[in-house]
Structure 1
């Protein structure tokens, strides 16, 4: 595969089969699987909260190729009971002998403080613990795919805003939670989990990558928009100064919002580009693998922190994983 990818690469350029979380209409997850459909994979497995949220992706996949087998598995990633049920469904399905690519795309952003039914802060549940239990449980199906299989985490440059809140992951200390502190902490944790998983599976030829898809306007920003445009812009400006060293207006002038096709391309490169294994790095941005500390914070790729995050995730979900 040619590796002349960049910020304007369209997702349709790089295609393969996949299990994907979060394929809601109008999001990059949906655009990812629609792009995949153009190469007629045997099966696409969609993990979503409701059929209403997933139906648009299913319809468009079928419009492209009616022979693709599409499986939708109802799953609420914020509920460990729901995630475990979905994982067991996948493990018990003889029509899914192997999973070549897992794309952990689902998440929530900048929502008001909320604990899930499992007592986990909502953003952390969506980005870390839900994917932690789902992915670790279905690992036998990934291992069955053998060397070359990939697991991808759609993270965010927001991880640069703050590290994982390891000592108080649920922000139980009164007054410490803000919507964006929670989001950044969750995304840093998600990256650390993927990094720890990669250390466990790389010797078996299975690679894990994390990425920033770029700025794309989707329903992910619905909570930010709910607070009013003025408040949203003021908050984004503050965050942009920390993450990018410039105002949000200055940043967008240099890096305008991407289309959905451009937004899903980095995910697909992470999942499919065979040349990635010959390069150093774990994190991609604009379809490029990078180790630049100005782009990916060391606190998101630190081996010791990754192991601590793994242990904290096991503690939060009440389950240990070894493979």
Structure 2
């Protein structure tokens, strides 16, 4: 019988249950700075002796801190570092080329697209796209597809996208993804749009690659809210934005209110569940799902907006993303 998890479950709890699924696997995780959810995920997973942990991030110094923590606690676990700036398509291509050149790493069992940003002031990427959407969606879209051959070499490949309940703040703005070049910019609507994109990315991957003898499983996770460094650039931190966020929810007709912060260990439990739980194997209805508290989210009792669960929207976003990165990926 599948174990029932809840909001009190930690990443280490889930690792104990799925250790046999982790052992010997190659896992690539983005956004692993110390103190963050990515670091909590990889440090927990290391206890189950994966074959290799590939740690990717924009700052190699921060990535190395996490790598050192893993090596200290689990000296037999192999760790490899990768510099990855998701805000630059050129940098994403360079990072992917590096991974593809590693002949001693013929496969990637699990890719966890954990890196992300929130609450940015308006800026545009080198592709001319609003920066929150560029970093949270467009960079991971390109990175994942460039590594797809190594993923599909694995027996049971999985891709995990980091979503958020914050997707409620905006669907994809099809006619104006960059907020009229900043003239109508709202940082939390921009974040909402990017998190909707993460949900649609998982759906699109499941639809395109979820069939066949080595089908790809893809999931989007809402980890909950943890006190990390994600809001370090915001004067006054995330708490200072709560009145603005509340006003936006009132404007949009949302009933959700402030939620309690949890530890990174609690939030990363959903990462581990999505990446390794056998409960998600062999159930096509689960592929592409949005997960919360280590379960498939309930659209009635959980915050799951219909614009994040539409296969039509997912197909449309895939086509737009191909156009923006200047490359088609046909599967």
What residue number does 1:142 align with? 151
2:317 to 294, 304, 309: 309
Compute the TM-score of the two structures, normalised by the length of structure 1: 0.92
Q: Secondary structure at the match of 2:82?
A: strand
1:209 to 205, 211, 219: 219
Structure 2 distance, partners of 1:164, 1:229, is 23
Moved more, 51-60 or 78-87: 51-60
Aligned partners of 2:32 and 2:57 also within 8 Å: yes
What residue number does 1:245 align with? 255
Aligned partners of 1:160 and 1:243 also within 8 Å: no
Distance 1:289 1:51, change over 3 A: same
Structure 2 distance, partners of 1:213, 1:239, is 22
* 1:8 lines up with 2:17 in the alignment: no
Compute the TM-score of the two structures, normalised by the length of structure 2: 0.90
Structure 1 distance, partners of 2:11, 2:48, is 12
2:307 to 290, 299, 311: 299
What residue number does 2:52 align with? 43
1:38-187 correspondence to structure 2 within 5 Å: 38-146=47-155, 148-172=156-180, 175-187=183-195
* Length, aligned pairs only: 315
Structure 1 distance, partners of 2:238, 2:69, is 32
Structure 1 distance, partners of 2:276, 2:110, is 8
Aligned partners of 1:21 and 1:47 also within 8 Å: yes
Identify unmatched segments of 5+ residues in structure 1: none
What residue number does 1:20 align with? 29
Structure 1 distance, partners of 2:242, 2:88, is 32
Moved more, 226-235 or 110-119: 226-235
Structure 1 distance, partners of 2:45, 2:254, is 32
Structure 2 distance, partners of 1:8, 1:243, is 29
**1:230 positional shift:** 7.3
What residue number does 2:18 align with? none
**1:7 positional shift:** 0.8
Distance 1:47 1:37, change over 3 A: same
**1:291 positional shift:** 4.1
**TM superposition outliers: structure 1 runs of 4+ over 2 Å:** 13-17, 172-175, 227-231, 236-244, 277-281
Aligned partners of 2:31 and 2:56 also within 8 Å: yes
Q: Secondary structure at the match of 1:153?
A: strand
Structure 2 distance, partners of 1:41, 1:5, is 23
* 1:29 lines up with 2:38 in the alignment: yes
**1:209 positional shift:** 0.3
